[in-house]
């Protein structure tokens, strides 16, 4: 009875990436780097007054259906302007899907106290080179760009690209 969307699948992939690259789930607190061993995933949703980022807590412990149910409840509250401050705080990483608004590529901006945000973009059919039993050819395939913005004080480029490869 739960409609599964891409977000739950990306959230699970992100969590696996964050386990492999804990700096992307960390934060700078004063002069210290704090590595978090929990996964509170913020998801940008269109609310009644604009884009907001409610947080799905302990997302690593949820099934796909439970994640989508939780996100659906939060998105409904966002549309009705009924989110509480507590539902907007405590995220350790954010997913933003500008593709729902038609974005082909963008640079998502970090939320305070987080060192990473994943931007998802519009899925479009594009020509790509493929190799099959008959050799190489051009085929039309659905493609989507993803972008990671990150705090370079904690995360270096190699780590960021490796995280993206892990998520893919």
Considering the candidates 20, 37, 58, 156, report the single residue annotated as catalytic.
Answer: 156
Contact 88, 53 (CB under 8 A): yes
- What is the 3-state composition of the chain as percent helix, strand, coil, each rounded to the nearest 5? 35, 30, 35
Q: Please state whether beta strands 93-97 and 135-143 pair in parallel, antiparallel, or not at all (unpaired).
A: unpaired
Considering the candidates 20, 37, 80, 152, report the single residue annotated as catalytic.
Answer: 152
Q: Give the tokens for residue 152.
A: 């370079």
What's the gap between Cα 47 and its chain centre? 18
Based on the residue annotation, tell me whether 113 is a catalytic residue of this protein: no
Residue closest to 15 by CA, chosen among 145, 118, 84 = 118
Based on the residue annotation, tell me whether 152 is a catalytic residue of this protein: yes
Contact 25, 93 (CB under 8 A): yes
Question: Active-site positions?
Answer: 152, 156
């Amino acid at each position: 009875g739960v409609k599964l969307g891409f977000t739950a699948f990306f959230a699970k992939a992100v969590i696996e990436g964050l386990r492999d690259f804990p700096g992307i789930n960390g934060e700078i607190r004063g002069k210290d780097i704090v590595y978090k061993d929990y996964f509170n995933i913020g998801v940008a949703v269109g609310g009644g007054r604009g884009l907001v980022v409610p947080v799905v807590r302990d997302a690593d412990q949820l099934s796909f259906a439970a994640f989508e149910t939780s996100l659906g409840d939060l998105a409904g509250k966002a549309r009705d302007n009924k989110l509480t401050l507590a539902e907007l705080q405590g995220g350790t990483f954010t997913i933003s899907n500008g593709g729902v608004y038609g974005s082909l590529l963008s640079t998502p901006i970090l939320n305070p106290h987080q060192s990473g945000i994943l931007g998802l973009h519009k899925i479009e059919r594009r020509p790509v080179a493929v190799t099959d039993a008959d050799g190489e050819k051009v085929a039309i395939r659905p493609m989507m760009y993803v972008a990671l913005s990150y705090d370079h004080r904690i995360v270096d480029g190699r780590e960021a690209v490796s995280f993206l490869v892990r998520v893919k």
